[in-house]
Amino acid sequence: MTQITRMSSARLALLLSAFLAVVVAAAPFAQAPLLRQGFGGPASTNPQARWFKGNLHTHTVNSDGDSTPDDVVRWYRERDYQFLALTDHNYLTSVDGLNAVHGADDKFLVIKGEELTSRVGTKPIHVNGLDVSRVVEPPGAATTVFHMVQGMVDAIRGAGGVPSINHPNFGWAITPDELGEVQRTRLFEVFNGHPTVNNLGGGGVPGLEETWDRILSSGKLLYGIAVDDAHYFKRPEDPTAPRPGKGWVYIRAERLEARALVEALERGEFYSSTGVEMLSIDASATSLSLAIKTEASSKYRTQFIGRQGRLLSEVTTPTASYAFRGDEGYVRAKVLDSNGKVAWIQPVPVGASGPK
């Protein structure tokens, strides 16, 4: 009898150990944000969808980075990112071997990408092509910034990719009016972690958030991503270097697969961040609500922003909600923590005059 009791205890301990392992493995997703009804329509209500953290703009030695693709991917993999797009200048870095080594179902994925790079006069024009099927050549000489950007977007679409317009204020290249004219794209960088891309504007040129509000107010729906635009992984202490870990997105998708992720981006099923994390986001036809995953060292404020960048409401509690009146045009949210981190929640069109 004693022997049977010991065996049962051993089995019980084994079962308990297995149960705890499952609980621990599931823990990273227990605090994942819930989007009960999303920005982009019916797909947002799918209960199988989850949130995945990743960076959409990264360089290697295949263009002007300082590290090999393997080293770059390893950096993100070891810091709990779940996906990474490699976007070398005018070069499509192969990701098959990288995924064979570093990829894992539902845990980590490398997405192929390319940063189309050219100039109009002295102005640098850069547009990312995400999940393109082949190398995409930038258009030939263009006489205007608009024609160059539009040509890049069209070329990316022709290769089955999703375009994202990069750092409009880098080299003061793309004005708000030029950006607003571009068709067949939903994405631009509202934040880029490179130290010389002029996110905040200056000298009479608007910052990227003001640019965003101008375009949304004109009736064009545009979503804002945050990226680090990392080039240098071997200069971690150099503040002048474009380093990793500066900005990222959380995408809500049914699965960790390239096409599912980029399609979710185009529906606005994501939020952008430089460090603020969300517990929940609830967008409906009548309101926008959210809850912040707080840190003990920080205090928070949430700004709800409408047409022409007007501040509609500011809330200082970890949960915040705004009920639509119907005349806002759109409502987006910005969460700021007291130590400088930010999250950008994508705009929800409101009323007949909302952006489309």
Residues 345-355: pLDDT tens digits? Answer: 999 999 998 99
Give exposure, 18-46, as e/b (b: 16+ Cβ within 10 Å). Answer: eeeeeeeeeeeeeebbebeebbbeeebee
Tell me the sheet residues that pair with 306.
310
Q: For residue 39, which amino acid is it?
A: F
Instruction: Answer whether residue 190 shows pLDDT above 90.
Output: yes
Type and span of the H or E element at 126: strand 123-130
5-61 per-position pLDDT tens digit: 333 343 434 333 433 333 333 333 233 344 433 433 333 456 679 999 999 999 999
Task: Please tell me the predicted confidence (pLDDT) of residue 25.
Answer: 35
- Residue 48: CB atoms within 10 A of its CB come to 7
Distance between alpha carbon 151 and the CA centroid of its chain, in Å? 23
Token look-up 């809850």 returns 291
Both tokens assigned to 266 = 């185009």
Both tokens assigned to 294 = 């707080």
- CATH hierarchy code of domain 42-277: 3.20.20.140
Token look-up 């929940």 returns 280
Instruction: Answer whether residue 194 shows pLDDT above 60.
Output: yes
129-178 per-position pLDDT tens digit: 999 999 999 998 889 999 999 999 999 999 999 999 999 999 999 999 99
Q: What is the dihedral of CA 155, 349, 342, 250, to 10 degrees?
A: -60
Rounded Cα distance between 32 and 255, Å, is: 14
* Nearest Cα residue to 264 out of 33, 51, 22, 13: 51
Which 8-state DSSP code applies to residue 202? B
What number is the average pLDDT over the span 183-200?
A: 98
203-244 per-position pLDDT tens digit: 999 999 999 999 999 999 999 999 999 999 999 999 999 999
Task: Please tell me the predicted confidence (pLDDT) of residue 46.
Answer: 64
242-285 per-position pLDDT tens digit: 999 999 999 999 999 999 999 999 999 999 999 999 999 999 99
Round the CA-based radius of gyration of the chain to a whole number and report it.
22
Task: Please tell me the predicted confidence (pLDDT) of residue 40.
Answer: 38
DSSP collapsed to 3 states, 304-335: EEEHHHEEEEEECCCEEEEECCCCCCEEEEEE
- Between the alpha carbon of residue 113 and those of residues 95, 128, 292, the distances in Å are 9, 7, 31
Q: What is the dihedral of CA 207, 209, 214, 219, to 10 degrees?
A: 150
